[in-house]
Amino acid sequence: MRRVGVLESRAADDAEGRARLALFVQGLRELGWTEGRNVRIDYRFSGASDADRYRTYAAELVALAPDVILASASASVAALQQTTRAVPIVFVNIIDPVGAGFVASLARPGGSATGFTLFEYSLSGKWLELFKEIAPNLTRIAILRDPSIASGIGQFAAIQAMAPPSFGVELSPIDERDAGEIERDVAAFARAPNGGLIVTASQGAVTNRELIITLAARHRLPAVYPFRYFVTHGGLISYGPDTTEQYRRAAGYVDRILKGQKAADLPVQAPIKYELAINLKTAKALGLTLLPTLLARADEVIE
């Protein structure tokens, strides 16, 4: 019986998180690992941007002496690496593992961690470009970001780099420290006209996604999101990687580590699929007429 730990950033009752973990377990099963027969999986769910909670759960998992741990999001990996450098870690949904210090390089991680990245920072500029197609008359865009992590700063910088003075759009950061601050700052931003919202990829945005989608609708703000599931829950448009597939791919790395390979020798892999999703019902509610060329490019259109 081998032992696998899972430190998941989402809450235990989060449907998206459960679907992803089901893919991970299915991937293990397809590789010959059946839960309860030859592998035991121990789960911990954070469900909040709480560093103390991550450290507590990381310590609990390490104390169980797992052979390998699956870690979702940067806070999970950081907490685990603060707790141990001996247990191999396979991470998913990490934006900049080199910048965060999780690995030495993408090709040769060199330590106890490896896994799968979300995207390069340059993708953040695509979110800004989408506004030229969905709402070309906007003059103000708020960037919802987490300034406490390197990826929050990096995504904002990439968006700024795509918006020279000739672009004609004023960018304003909104820090997402808690739900109350998000609600106050979005409401304040929306008091002036011709505004839109870019939601960058972060644990805070995922945790508060229903609130953010509701605020965008309430204040009639066209909004661009990083992942498809924001759109399926009522958001306007998203462009980003297929985040669920990373869990199935992670099962392959866990399998290889259980069979004796070292995380240090397994290269960090980038996404293999990106998705453009559009919610036509939300577009209609905002009074937006989307270009046929944009709709033709979409991987999913929700009506």
* Dihedral sign from CA coordinates of 23, 17, 144, 297: positive
Query: Is residue 158 within 8 Å of 214, Cβ to Cβ?
Result: no
Q: What is the pLDDT along the chain (303 residues), one digit of tens a residue?
A: 999 999 998 888 888 889 999 999 999 999 999 999 999 999 999 877 678 899 999 999 999 999 999 999 888 999 999 999 999 999 998 988 998 899 999 999 999 999 999 888 888 888 988 988 999 889 999 999 988 777 788 888 888 888 767 678 899 999 887 889 999 999 999 999 999 999 998 878 888 899 999 999 999 999 999 999 999 999 999 999 988 889 999 999 999 999 999 999 999 999 988 999 999 999 999 999 998 999 999 999 998
Residue in this structure with the two tokens 């910048």, named with its chain if needed = 99
Do the two domains 2-118+243-272 and 121-241+275-302 of this chain adopt the same fold?
yes
Q: For the chain, which residues make up each domain, given as ranges? A: 2-118+243-272, 121-241+275-302
Nearest to 51 by CA among 154, 177, 143, 155: 177
4 DSSP assignment = E
User: What pLDDT, on the 0 to 100 scale, is given for residue 166?
Assistant: 67
pTM: predicted TM-score of the whole model, two decimal places: 0.85
Q: Which CATH number fits domain 121-241+275-302: 3.40.50.2300, 1.10.600.10, 1.10.10.10, 3.50.4.10?
A: 3.40.50.2300
Residue 49 is predicted with a pLDDT of 67
- Is CATH 3.40.50.2300 the classification given to domain 2-118+243-272? yes
